[in-house]
Amino acid sequence: MNLFAAALALQMFFPVFDNGIDNFASLALTNVSNTDAEFTVRLNSPDGQETKVVRIPVEAGQQRIVGSESLRPNAATPLEGWIAVEATTDRFTAYLVSGTLDALAAAEPALRPAVTSYLPHIRVRTGFAETGSSDTQIAVINPSQQPASATIRLMSYDKSVAQTVFAGIPAQGSRIFRASDLLPPGTVRFEGRATVQSFQPVAVWEKVETPVSWTVLRARSEADFGLDTKMVAPHFVFGGNYQSSLTIWNPTEPPITLEAVAYDSSGTQLGERVQMTLAPGDAVSSAIDAFFRIPVIATVPPPVITGSIRLREVNNRPFRVLANIETRGFDSTDKALMLHWLTSSSAHAWEIPFVAQNERFFTGYSITAVDESAVTRVEVSIEVHDLNGALVQRIDRSLPPRGVEAGVISPGIPGAYIRVWATQPISVVGSAGTHNGSMFEAVTPSR
C-alpha cells in the first residue's frame, strides 16, 4: 500500500462523463512552482487501456490548456474513460471543464483514491422535462493495477429508501453508473446520498443532470474531512430565480450536536442560530431560508440575498461531518445547478485554477472573512493572470468582519487563473457560467 501511494503521489485523476463527439473539454494545467516542468496527460479507456498520451512543457507560473481535440485518440472518437495528470513538480494544479452549448460541468481532481467515498447529493426524478426531471451519474475510477470490487449504497435523507449494488471496476479502468438504474424498480423520486466502498482504493465523482443543466462534485473520503472545529460555506444565494440548499451528513461519527449560523454579505446574522443533533448516519437537507427561518420581505421582484454559513460543534469541540451547498437557478425547470462543499480550510492566499475565455461566459468568485471574532476589515486583492503568468487585472476589495465579496471578472480579459490575497484568513469558491444565468458551475480553489 505504501508503494502504491508513493507511485500516485504526483498524479491527479479526472472522470470523463460526457463523451459525445460534439462536446467540448478543456483541461487547465497550471505550474505554480518556481521551476519549469513537464506535464504528462494520459487518457485511459473504461477497460483500462491507455489510449492517448500528451506531454506539454509549462514554464514556472504559466498555464496551458489541453482541449478535447488533443485528448481524443482520433478526431472521430469521442472521449471516454478517465484522465490522469502528472508533472515533474508536485506544485501544480489541474482542472477539467466540459460541456455543450447548453450545459457546463467542472470536475475537481482526485489526488488520493480511497476505500470509502461519500457522495452527499444524489437526485433522481423521472418524468417529462417540464416537471423537473433529473438523474445522477456516479463515476468510479480504479487507477491501480488490480481489479476492484465496489459496493455502492444509496440511502434517502430520511432513510426510508436504501439500495446496495455490487460492481466490478477493471484494473486501471473506470465505470459510470446511473442512480436511476441502481435504485429499486419503480422508484420515480429519490433525494439522498451514496457511499462507495472498495478494498482497492478508487476515486469517485457524481454528476447531477437535468435536461438543461449539469453539475459535478468530487466525493470526499475520511482523508478529506478530518476533525474540524469550524466549517464555512463561502457563498449561498436565495430569492428571485435562485435557491441554495444546505445538506449536512454525519456518516460515521458518534452523535454530534452542531450549531449553524448564516450571515449576509455585510456580516450581519440572518435568521436564527440553528442547533441540531445528528446520530451516526443521519442527514438533513433544507433550503437556506427555511433552515435558518429567515424572514423575507414580500416584494416584487423578491430580494436576492447572498451570504455565508458557519458550522461548529456547540461546545467548540472537534467534529467530523460532510456538508455541501447546492444552488439552483430555475424558472419552469432547474435551468442551472451548482454544488460545492463547505470547507474547514482558511488561508491568506488562494488560487482559482480556471478563467472562462469566451465572452458568453463569466468567471466569478465569492470570498468570505472567516474570523467571527474579528473587528477590523479584511483587505483583499484579486489578481487575474494570463497563460504566461502575467498580471492582466487586479481588483482590490475591503470586507467587513464575516462579510462576503462576490464578483465577476471583466468580460474579455485574457485571463487563465486567479490568485486571491488577503490580510486575514478567508475562504473562497470560484464559479463559471453564462451571463444570462442559464448555466453556472462551482470552481474549487486551491491554497
Please, what sign has the CA dihedral across residues 412, 416, 420, 426?
Answer: positive
- For 5-14, 58-67, 418-427, which range has the lowest pLDDT when averaged over its residues? 5-14
| 251 confidence band (pLDDT: 50, 70, 90) | confident
Mean pLDDT of 206-224: 87
| Run of H or E residues at 4 | helix 2-7
- Residue found by looking up cell 454530534 in the block: 256
- For 127-136, 147-156, 421-430, which range has the lowest pLDDT when averaged over its residues? 127-136
Assign domain 231-341 to a CATH class. mainly beta
Q: Smallest Cα–Cα separation from 262: which of 193, 325, 315?
A: 325
Residues near 127 by Cβ (< 8 Å), separated by ≥ 6?
133, 188
* Annotated domain spans of the chain: 2-102, 114-218, 231-341, 347-443
Structure letter (DSSP) for residue 343: B
Domain topology for 347-443 = Hypothetical Protein Tm1070; Chain: A (2.60.290)
Rounded to the nearest integer, the mean pLDDT of the chain is: 87
pLDDT at 224: 80
Residue pair 377/401 in contact (Cβ under 8 Å)? The answer is yes
What pLDDT, in 10s, does the model give residues 275-289?
999 999 999 999 999
Q: Using the predicted structure, report yes or no on whether residue 198 has a pLDDT greater than 50.
A: yes
Residues near 290 by Cβ (< 8 Å), separated by ≥ 6?
none
Residue pair 77/413 in contact (Cβ under 8 Å)? The answer is no
Rounded Cα distance, 440 and 438, in Å: 7
Rounded Cα distance, 238 and 406, in Å: 14
Mean pLDDT of 341-365: 84
One-letter amino acid of 219: A
Rounded Cα distance, 59 and 61, in Å: 6
The pTM score is 0.91
Q: Which CATH architecture has domain 114-218?
A: Sandwich (2.60)
Write out the three cell numbers for 141. Answer: 475510477
| 21 confidence band (pLDDT: 50, 70, 90) | low
CATH, range 2-102: 2.60.290.11
